[in-house]
Homo-oligomer: A and B are copies of this chain.
């Protein structure tokens, strides 16, 4: 038992050992609907610069690189990020472009039609032009999948502090662990090629003139001598960190490499911007580079591969061995050899493979890895005995010719595109979060703003651009509003007082604290158009409206419902007109919405309950703000509203007859959203903006009752043609972005721009 195993077993630290950090980088070409490499520039609305850490361009202008942030502990989290980044990328592609799902490119055009990435940084473009000269354009068109892998710093610290390290300081201990892993990986990298190799074919156009195309399917062209390899005279030693740095730098100094990043080793030591930085940063993680893109996985890799690679890497740290430089050289040769094998054949390294599989299984047992993960790993391990189950073999079986394979690539690309466009309002990987937050994350990804999910159930994000940090909760709770503003807006009476004092129209209202208090005052309200609402909710819950004034019974029933939502209830003058929602940001109204109360339209046959059920089938209708619209409920308030129209849930509506189940028009209670931003008279835009300013709130939804939005706001002795209803903190954004009718306004983008004015890309 080596020191690492002893530490894990004696100190019970398997959980720390397994608590790794994983991130994925996946390249892939944009292709036309005909399956050609796209000749178009990178989509304009996606920040594809190296400042966007999610979406970049690799060698070619057509070659998108999707980068997940490192995720600690949860392998599923990596896939969620890839899903999201993939969705955002696809949704911004022009001309129905899709993304090629394989490592090997589709049929390539002539070299003059392959554009290197048109980056702003001239050095980055120059580097790519150098690569063209050194390797040819075609080689650079291969797409890879890189697996960034880090150990839990607490694991390393514990290993050192508990006295298991051979080194007398934490820094050297950490570097030694990563170097051991890197060396063993280079020795055994063929394992990845055998189990995950998925590039059996390449189209003839891939091969430079004079190069003999591979005449038969292999496990991985990409890992063969036809793939990304440095010239043979490039030698870098992994013996120790200092030697690694010196030998790599020497290759650059002597001109064998133009830059450190041209060193195409299948494992890179990461930690600093330049390799010499590692001397003070230490090795922080490894970049493992020889996994082929898995064509059957929507984002190039699935959970089982993620888990398999992780435990394979842990295994390389777990074992007693440590490969030396000659063994590493041997490992590189074995990798190439395995890559060139017939996918259906048993590998020449079968016995070494058996030893590894056995050792890996023993480690899984020793670590007591959870059964679901073991199951995933076994799905891959059994391929040692069944080479026909390797990805390369499966591709060849399914697509016997290169032409079949090319066709499959396009079909998969189109299918993936279709899936990404199916529910454009949602963000794949994050559909459990509030929809506004999903849209917000999507916009951040697109714009290259770093976004961390601090608390998923809380919908709490940390956004950053350089040193500038902004926290955002529930889509628009930010640093731009004050703590007190929330309470001012929550208090509807105080809000109205401030609005009235600022010279705007707001209806009169009174607060009641008990039903008996309302009973005593009921006479006053019987002939008054009236709104009954709980004092401190902003979701439309418990609100009833009586346009003609309530009966005594109706009043008390409405109050009873309202008192269920709050200790105090407002009885407020009903202002005639139609209610509109004004989304105000930074003192300007940027979107206006008409919300139509929850309703159904009859067909002469169905009951209201049946019509509601039918309407609720719309996938845009969901629950709890995960979709642009909410399902219509059949509760007390709906029943009361129908009763006012002499209807029940069992009433059958005539063809075309419309019944409203709510008086209040909130989307959260099943209402429909109609974008009217372009129709509304500018005077109301100003009024809403000024109201927000009077309230001292920078992000708010102002509800105004307006008699005719096309006519200017007016106030005379007789009254006004508009009235303030309420100001909402944390106003819903999704209904503006994805209205039921109308074009919609992407208020999330405007908010991001407000938070990060320095991020010009948002404009």
Chain A residues with a Cβ under 8 A of chain B: 161, 454-455, 457-458, 460, 471-473, 477-488, 491, 493-494, 497, 568, 696, 717, 729
Contact = CB atoms under 8 A, between A and B. Distances in A.
B479 A485 contact: yes
Contacts of A455: 491, 493-494
B717 A454 contact: no
Contacts of A481: 482-483
Given A479-B482, A479-B696, A696-B479, A457 B568 contact: yes
Nearest to A170: B717
Contacts of A486: 483, 486
Given A483-B483, A483-B729, 18 more contacts: A458-B494, A460-B487, A460-B488, A460-B491, A471-B487, A471-B488, A472-B484, A473-B487, A477-B483, A477-B487, A479-B482, A479-B484, A479-B485, A479-B696, A480-B482, A480-B483, A481-B482, A486-B486
B471 A484 contact: yes
Nearest to A493: B455
Contact of A460 (B477, B480, B485, B494): B494
Given A455-B494, A493-B455, A478 B473 contact: no
Contacts of A493: 455
A457 B717 CA distance: 35
Contacts of A491: 454-455, 458, 460
Nearest to A494: B454
A494 B458 CA distance: 10
A717 B491 CA distance: 51
A475 to B, nearest CB: 12
B471 A478 contact: no
A110 to B, nearest CB: 51
Given A494-B454, A494-B455, A717 B161 contact: yes
A488 B483 CA distance: 12
A520 to B, nearest CB: 11
A494 B454 CA distance: 6
Contacts of A473: 484, 487
Nearest to A470: B484
B487 A482 contact: no
Nearest to A508: B154
A484 B478 contact: yes
Contacts of A485: 479, 483
A488 B455 CA distance: 10
A490 to B, nearest CB: 9
12 contacts: A454-B494, A455-B493, A457-B568, A460-B487, A471-B487, A472-B484, A478-B483, A479-B484, A479-B485, A479-B696, A481-B482, A486-B486
Nearest to A730: B483
A473 B489 CA distance: 12
A477 B454 CA distance: 24
Contacts of A497: 454
A482 B476 CA distance: 12
A458 B487 CA distance: 9
A458 B513 CA distance: 13
Contacts of A717: 161
A161 B483 CA distance: 42
Contact of A479 (B457, B480, B483): B483
A596 B696 CA distance: 40
Contacts of A454: 491, 494, 497
Residue in A161, A478, A481, A491 whose Cβ sees the most chain B Cβ within 10 Å:
A491
Contacts of A477: 483-484, 487
Contacts of A472: 484
Contacts of A482: 478-483
Contacts of A729: 483
Contacts of A480: 482-483
A486 B481 CA distance: 11
A568 B494 CA distance: 34
Nearest to A536: B458
A484 to B, nearest CB: 5
Nearest to A729: B483
A548 to B, nearest CB: 19
Contacts of A479: 482-485, 696
A712 B712 CA distance: 67
A158 to B, nearest CB: 12
What are the nearest 9 A-B pairs in CB distance? A481-B483, A479-B482, A473-B487, A454-B494, A471-B484, A478-B484, A479-B484, A477-B484, A477-B483
A493 B458 CA distance: 11
Nearest to A487: B473
A506 to B, nearest CB: 14
A487 B479 CA distance: 11
Nearest to A699: B483
A473 B494 CA distance: 12
A106 to B, nearest CB: 44
A568 B643 CA distance: 41
A378 B568 CA distance: 35
Nearest to A488: B471
A491 B457 CA distance: 11
Contacts of A161: 717
A480 B488 CA distance: 14
Contacts of A568: 457
A477 B486 CA distance: 10
A27 B484 CA distance: 37
Residue in A457, A471, A479, A486 whose Cβ sees the most chain B Cβ within 10 Å:
A471
A503 to B, nearest CB: 15
A458 B494 CA distance: 10
A168 to B, nearest CB: 13
A485 B493 CA distance: 25
A535 to B, nearest CB: 9
A504 to B, nearest CB: 17
A507 to B, nearest CB: 13
A473 B696 CA distance: 15
Nearest to A698: B483
A742 to B, nearest CB: 29
Nearest to A476: B483
Contacts of A487: 458, 460, 471, 473, 477
Contacts of A488: 460, 471
A526 B359 CA distance: 33
Nearest to A160: B717
Contacts of A458: 487, 491, 494
A316 B361 CA distance: 100
Contacts of A478: 482-484
A458 B511 CA distance: 13
A12 to B, nearest CB: 9
Residue in A161, A483, A485, A488 whose Cβ sees the most chain B Cβ within 10 Å:
A483
A72 B484 CA distance: 25
A487 B478 CA distance: 10
